[in-house]
Amino acid sequence: MAELSIFPMRLKNARLMKGFSMEDLCAAMGNPISKMAISKYESGQLRPNSTILILLSKALDQPIDYFFRPFSVQIDSVRFQKKSRLSAKREHELQETLADYMERYLDIENICNEPTPPRALPNEPVKSKEDVKNIVTFIRHQWGFGTNGILNVLGLLEMQGVKILELNAPISFDGMSATINDIFYAIVLNKSLPAEKKRFTALHELGHLILNFDKKVSSQEEELCDLFASEMLLPEIELKRLLGNSRKSIAPPELLTIQAQYGIPCDVILQKAKDSQILTTAKYRALCHQLKQIDIFSSSQSAQESANRFTRLVYKALSQELITLSKAANLLHAGVDQVQKEFLLA
């Protein structure tokens, strides 16, 4: 009976992950059935035969066992950046994609016996900007890099137990955060973001996860998460060491050098200089206008980062014969031939 209730939900989730309407799914299958049949499958009124099940599997890019696998993941406390302009349908699609990824992630961790320590990061109360700065100082000290730049943000977060999923997403989407089973932290990032913006977005989302905002500052949550990310990348005390306490202007090569050294977007550096009173508001605005003319804000000085722990665990399990080639392909959502080719190159 449990299997009967699982299939309808799995089918609907797989369809939403693909962004398909019921009509789209019928078309992707070659129209062997009607929209009404899909509706009945998803409501549990009807079960597909083996031929239709195979067509559903191929159209939705899911292995057949996916449709009967018990649910093991619950997504909680989902936060999309306010500037992300996604439809409710697209947001639902991203949440279902994250749930599927987390099921596969927890599965391979269990196979490799490499569980992530749950919530190893602090969850600190925040009532002011100074609280955010103090928390960042504490984290930087605990993680052992003082005021130095962070070489690899995504790698660092994965080491701290954060699950990271990178997706090809619309340009209007930067990132989202969520808790998983009320135990783990997860961050979803737009794979196509410029390197510095991806680093900043990952840390902004981390702020949502570990900062416990007082009701008095809840309306400033986005701004305070921006502050958390900018302080993590480049602490105010270090910016003042580089620029001094007061400046009339900042030369473009100087700005780009700081960007390259700390992997932080140029517009964030300038905003930080204004907020730290290194630049007055008037000088900040004038400099922003000047730098926009030479398109400096679209420049990228850093190498792209990627989250690779999940993929590493899959290939580790494959090399130790803990899983089959077919299982590895299912976990990676890739073709068997592609996985075999990459495995042989490893």
57-71 pLDDT, tens per residue? 999 999 898 899 888
Residue 118 has pLDDT above 70, yes or no: no
Residue 1 has pLDDT above 50, yes or no: no
The rounded radius of gyration (Å) of the Cα atoms in the chain is 23
Nearest-CA neighbor of 186 among 234, 154, 214? 154
pLDDT for position 90: 86
pLDDT single digits (tens) 246-278: 999 999 999 999 999 999 999 999 999 999 999
Question: Between 77 and 261, whose confidence is greater?
Answer: 261
Residue 82 has pLDDT above 70, yes or no: no
Sign (positive or negative) of CA dihedral 279, 285, 286, 292: positive
pLDDT band at 197, cuts 50/70/90?
Answer: very high
- Listed by start position, the domains of the chain span 1-71, 124-298, 309-345
pLDDT single digits (tens) 208-235: 999 999 989 989 999 999 999 999 999 9
Average pLDDT of the chain is: 91
Looking at residues 273-299, what average pLDDT do you find? 94
Spatial distance between the Cα atoms of 138 and 124, rounded to a whole number of angstroms: 11
User: Which one of 3.40.50.2000, 1.10.1040.10, 1.10.260.40, 3.40.50.1820 gives the CATH number of domain 1-71?
Assistant: 1.10.260.40
Alpha-carbon distance values, 52 to 11, 220, 259, 326, 335 (Å):
12, 51, 54, 21, 21
Judge: domain 124-298, CATH 1.10.10.2910. Answer: yes
pLDDT single digits (tens) 300-322: 889 999 999 999 999 999 999 99
The pTM assigned to this predicted structure is 0.88
Q: Please, is 121 exposed, middle or buried when counting C-beta atoms within 10 Å of its C-beta (0-12, 13-18, 19+)?
A: middle
Looking at residues 28-35, what average pLDDT do you find? 94
pLDDT single digits (tens) 139-166: 999 888 888 899 999 999 999 899 999 9
pLDDT band at 284, cuts 50/70/90?
Answer: very high
Contact between residue 178 and residue 164 where contact means Cβ atoms under 8 Å apart? no
Question: Between 17 and 346, whose confidence is greater?
Answer: 17
Spatial distance between the Cα atoms of 98 and 300, rounded to a whole number of angstroms: 28
| 180 phi/psi in degrees, rounded to 5 | -115, 125
Asked, colleague to colleague, whether 1-71 and 124-298 share their fold, the answer is no
Residue 2 has pLDDT above 60, yes or no: no
pLDDT band at 80, cuts 50/70/90?
Answer: confident
**Over pLDDT 70: what percentage of the chain?**
96
